[in-house]
A and B are shown apart, each in its own frame.
Chain A
Amino acid sequence: MTPPEIVVVAEHLAGEVTDVTLEMLACARELTHTIGWHVTCVILADDPKPFEALPLASGRTVIVQDPSLSSFNPVAYSKVLAHVLRDLGPRLVLVGNTNVGTDLAGSLSHLLDAPVVGGCIRIRSEGEGILFTSRMCGGKLLAQIEFRDGMVIAMLLPGSFNREGGMRDQVPPTEVRPSPVSLKGLPVRFLELVEPSLGDVDVRKVPILVAAGRGVQSKANLEAVEALAKTLGGAVCATRPIVDQGWLPRARQVGRSGMIVKPRLYLALGVSGAPEHVEGMKESGLIVAVNTDPEAPIFDVAHFGATVDLLKLVPILAARIEAAKGGA
């Protein structure tokens, strides 16, 4: 009997597979090691060249080639993937819990009559079943979900596996196929990809970052945070809610759809630590978090934490650092 199949739906941007693609392959590889399933990585592209010689950790790579696949298009992807997945009949389909995977999961679920598990951070086999662990409620809860049979679509949260595990030392057998379905006259068209305007600060290059989260409460309070960052010789970055309020420019946003940063010091002020933010900062050298909620998930990634009122702490800390400098 041929072993059950896992299909990893690759994401790529500007000719490169994204980190979450490698992380999904690492996840699939872990499953194959324990239960011997077969992994196929499916890549949709107009030009197969950048992907043909990639040493991906899949049993094989299938590249579906069509001019309409030059950029991500949710309708084109869904149409092609529905055909490919019907053909391959996998037990498990992995997509990213990303803005790409989220566009595909609903329509694939409908077209293939398959359930979807979102927010997955762990997947393992248990007897005949597959056991999924998912994050919910901003990372404050973990849910365990089990499926005993049939095809399941799982959305893997970025950052749940090491991307290095998605590569190996040889190129798997790779097959380039034309699209199995016409992609003419699609109701969605990709016009252009706009690079971020960085403004005055590139937070990816600053060694000391002071992150402002919702706990900062108001734009006026940001002044003290800015002053602290200046005293430390660093810059202020932020979580999405702060940027959505228009208090800081989009280029300062750290997280899944913002910047991925790795400073020597990440001082998180009033940051709850939602998974989409943590993805962008968890590899920082030293992480210090201040949040009045002792259950805030940020304390799971921080090295040091305190639950004092950040508005009281910030000016005192700035003064102490200034004084320490004078005494150095």
Chain B
Amino acid sequence: MKVAAVLRQVPDVVEELVIGADGRSLSEADLMYVTNEADEHALEQALILKGRDGAHVVAISSGGDEARAALASAVAKGADEAYFAPVPFASRADNHHLAATLASVMKGAGYDLILTGVWASDQLDAGLGGLLAAELGLPYVGGLTSVSAPAESAKATVRKEFPGGRLGVMEVDLPAVLGIQSAENPPRYVPVSKVMQAKRSLQAQTIPPAASHEARVHLRKLTKPEAATRAEMISGSPEEVADRLVRILRERGVA
């Protein structure tokens, strides 16, 4: 069984996000990148399938040069092959274009499962998984918390999240594209030394971008939200904050 996991590089939202001079994009120079969290789960789920059913795992990263580091980490964790899809900064959130790029190398390449994170934090488009499935003419189901695909069975059994903590159990004929919400286990840790080692010997094939197309979603303005209401901030040392909170909680009758 051949399984692909797509690893997109997205702005690290823990860092301060600086809006660029054009007012429509993030300031590239100020950005730090991380692998999209749900994509980390997609890779973990692929590696779980490798451990359980002997899947051959192909890691595909997209973004700028930092995406190569994500590939080294994926190989250190156990991915068998690595591909790098360079995406220019201006097109990072355009999943239509990324889907077309990835489809060009995935078509006819014998993948049984293609796993993507169900959502990317910088996304303003439809999810990558659904678009990629449509490009490839394959079924797509997303929002999954587990995937079981015994070798030779030609189908996968998945668990999909619904509101209220409910899970839908579904069966999907392979090949298919699946959108992972969270893997069965948290993404595994790999020591930095192993990542450095993988980085030195990394052999990643580059995926040429799909013919440029006109993006359909144009940002007119990017702003930081101004809340209608904002919390009353309590300043001071932890002791002072604790004292004030106790007073507030007692006034409200909750402590």
Contacts and interface: CB of A to CB of B under 8 A. Distances in A.
Interface residues of A, number: 97
Nearest first, the 8 closest Cβ-Cβ pairs linking A and B are A106-B130, A99-B143, A196-B165, A110-B134, A305-B231, A300-B227, A115-B216, A116-B126
B200 interface: no
A18 interface: yes
Interface stretch (B46-54, B70-78, B116-124): B116-124
Given A257-B163, A257-B181, A104 B232 contact: no
B171 A191 contact: yes
Interface in B207-237: 216-225, 227, 229-237
Interface in A233-261: 240-241, 244-246, 250-251, 253, 256-260
Interface string A183-212: 000011111111110000000000110000
Contact of A316 (B96, B134, B242, B248): B242
Interface of A: 13, 18-19, 71-72, 74-75, 98-99, 102-107, 109-111, 115-119, 131, 134-146, 153, 155, 187-196, 207-208, 232, 240-241, 244-246, 250-251, 253, 256-260, 264-265, 272, 285-290, 293-295, 297, 299-309, 312-313, 316-317, 320-321, 324-325
Given A117-B217, A272-B13, 9 more contacts: A110-B134, A146-B218, A153-B126, A191-B157, A246-B185, A264-B252, A304-B234, A308-B238, A316-B242
A270 to B, nearest CB: 12
Given A103-B142, A110-B134, A119-B124, A141 B171 contact: no
Interface of A is mostly: mixed
Interface of B: 11, 13-14, 16-17, 19, 26, 37, 41, 93, 95-96, 99, 118-119, 121-135, 139-143, 157, 159-173, 176, 179, 181-182, 185-186, 216-225, 227, 229-239, 241-243, 245-246, 248-250, 252, 254-255
A143 B160 CA distance: 29
A304 B167 contact: no
Given A137-B13, A251-B165, A145 B126 contact: no
Contact of A297 (B143, B164, B173, B225): B225
Contacts of B143: 99, 102-103, 257
Contacts of A297: 225
B61 to A, nearest CB: 20
